[in-house]
Structure 1
Amino acid sequence: MHGLWSSTIHPIREFLIQMNSMVVLRSLKVQPDYSFETAPLFDIVIIPGGYGADHIEIENPVVINWIQARSSQTEILASVCTGSFLLAKAGLLDNRKATTHWMDIKILQIKFPKVHVLSNVKYVDEGSIITSAGISAGIQMSLHIVRRLLSEEIVTNRKITS
């Protein structure tokens, strides 16, 4: 690669990890790249939120155990929106600051009293764990991660040459 990426920086690639493929929006099929059993180690793991996170997967021990196991094998474990509920359920937010979607702040505080829940912030960086509020805040968190790992120049440069 050329441009802003040096030869020592690996390109960013994303992978989907879940238990099975699934159909969403009537006919859109989502096919995971890996299952929980076959996923390799990653530098960054981002846990998505939404209804499935705080109402369904929070009760799934396979998901919670995978998150717990990966927390010690990953440089950054991040969550978007109510994905923070899964990190809290795994015990990873105990005695840490965290945030979630504004509509779920009180619920996170009540369900997980050991978490120092912050409101009116886009994201909270606690070192190896970063939580963000809603979806747009997740984009800001992602830019923060790029800035933290690479540079401000990459985040603010709108034209990447090849």
Structure 2
Amino acid sequence: MRTVPDMHTVALAVAGGQSLLELAVAFDVFGIDRSALADPWYDFAVCAPAGARVGGWFQVSTPYGLDRLVTADTVIVPWSHDVEQPPPADLVDAVRAAHEAGARIASICTGAFVLAAAGLLDGRRATTHWMHAELLARRHPRVRVDPDVLYVDDGDVLTSAGKAAGLDLCLHLVRCDHGSAVANALARRLVVPPHREGGQAQFIQAPVPSRVDGGLGALLSWAVERLDEPLTVSDLARAARVSERTLTRQFRAATGTTPLRWLLTQRVHRAQELLETTDHSVEQVAARTGLGTAATLRRHFHRTLGVPPDAYRRAFHARSRAAA
């Protein structure tokens, strides 16, 4: 593998049918001359087969075909436009050849399907957009898919979640190559947060299941209305009129988790809502979600979402209040 100081040639792999936004993210970070921040900056090349189109209408005009990927130091692979179909064989072959030649490979969103098809993710931890994580894991069982993070850095192979997480990953690459000062300066120019850790959660919504067996649906609704109370498994079992063992079995079958884990997840989600939409203190949010103390809230919130409550509020509170 090439050393980090040598990583200055970045190739963007375009197969056609992809999103303009992801291509623009990579170009904005690597394709614009930023030599005022670090000299030399990156040499950037768009690589695509003849006649490739993106965004449904934009025809790619570039002198570089996919064979150019093999000479790059870093290859960016945007989303695969149709994950239900295998990615283009020529793209998969070109990405595999680039990696074998020593390139660092990074995917954005469902570009992870291309990396997986090339065998680059076998035995590795990887991520993709949470909507497609289950499909990736099912299709490529040797990949350790983590649907709950923004991006995964596994050295010479990196994967990221949705489009915004692709920008986080690109800034992470700049930070790896040029240090935090350069990455932070670039983030200021792009008017984005300077650093979001890859382990930060994708902030997906997890509502109460709309269809569950038996009377469990009514129980879940009953519990959600009482999250400020110190509910226990015994309380849930009593409300459902079943034994604790039966309740646990039904819960796992319907929700994939245990009653206590489900309760904790719902409390954290309620805390998210309160942090976004109210001015309650962290202590008040802890009390209103049944987590008791601010310390308990902070511990579970950080463990679940990867960020502390205060940081979450700074990121989402003003926007949520403005929308309201």
Query: TM-score, with normalisation over the residues of structure 1?
Result: 0.84
Superposition map of 1:12-161 within 5 A: 12-24=42-54, 27-38=57-68, 41-52=71-82, 54-56=83-85, 58=87, 60-157=88-185, 158=188
- SS of the equivalent of 2:106 reads strand
Q: Which moved more, 1:21-30 or 1:142-151?
A: 21-30
Could you say which structure has the higher strand fraction?
1
Whether the 8 Å CA contact 1:57–1:63 is kept in 2: the answer is no
Cα-to-partner distance string for 1:109-158 (whole Å, 9 max, x where unaligned): 10000000002100000000000001100000000000011110011123
Letter in 2 for 1:130: L
Q: How many Å apart are 1:16 and its aligned residue?
A: 1.5
Cα-to-partner distance string for 1:80-128 (whole Å, 9 max, x where unaligned): 0000001101111000000001100100010000000002100000000
In the alignment, the residues of structure 1 paired with residue 64 and residue 103 of structure 2 have an alpha-carbon distance, to the nearest angstrom, of 19
Letter in 1 for 2:44: E
Q: Percent identity?
A: 32
In the alignment, the residues of structure 1 paired with residue 145 and residue 125 of structure 2 have an alpha-carbon distance, to the nearest angstrom, of 6
In the alignment, the residues of structure 1 paired with residue 80 and residue 93 of structure 2 have an alpha-carbon distance, to the nearest angstrom, of 19
In the alignment, the residues of structure 1 paired with residue 57 and residue 134 of structure 2 have an alpha-carbon distance, to the nearest angstrom, of 35
Root-mean-square deviation (CA), in Å?
2.1
In the alignment, the residues of structure 2 paired with residue 61 and residue 22 of structure 1 have an alpha-carbon distance, to the nearest angstrom, of 15
Q: How many Å apart are 1:26 and its aligned residue?
A: 6.3
Letter in 2 for 1:5: A
State the match for 1:4 in structure 2: 37
- Distance change >3 Å, CA 96–CA 4, structure 1 → 2: same
Whether the 8 Å CA contact 1:41–1:74 is kept in 2: the answer is no
- Distance change >3 Å, CA 76–CA 86, structure 1 → 2: same
In the alignment, the residues of structure 1 paired with residue 104 and residue 69 of structure 2 have an alpha-carbon distance, to the nearest angstrom, of 16
Please, which runs of 5 or more residues in structure 1 have no aligned partner? Answer: none
In the alignment, the residues of structure 2 paired with residue 65 and residue 48 of structure 1 have an alpha-carbon distance, to the nearest angstrom, of 16
**Which structure ranks higher in relative contact order (CA pairs < 8 Å, sequence separation ≥ 6)?**
1
Whether the 8 Å CA contact 2:80–2:110 is kept in 1: the answer is yes
Query: TM-score, with normalisation over the residues of structure 2?
Result: 0.44
Cα-to-partner distance string for 1:33-73 (whole Å, 9 max, x where unaligned): 31123556111100110424x34561x32221111111122
In the alignment, the residues of structure 1 paired with residue 173 and residue 183 of structure 2 have an alpha-carbon distance, to the nearest angstrom, of 10
- Distance change >3 Å, CA 16–CA 116, structure 1 → 2: same
Could you say which structure has the higher helix fraction?
2
- Distance change >3 Å, CA 24–CA 65, structure 1 → 2: closer
- Distance change >3 Å, CA 57–CA 14, structure 1 → 2: farther
In the alignment, the residues of structure 2 paired with residue 26 and residue 113 of structure 1 have an alpha-carbon distance, to the nearest angstrom, of 32
In the alignment, the residues of structure 2 paired with residue 139 and residue 69 of structure 1 have an alpha-carbon distance, to the nearest angstrom, of 25
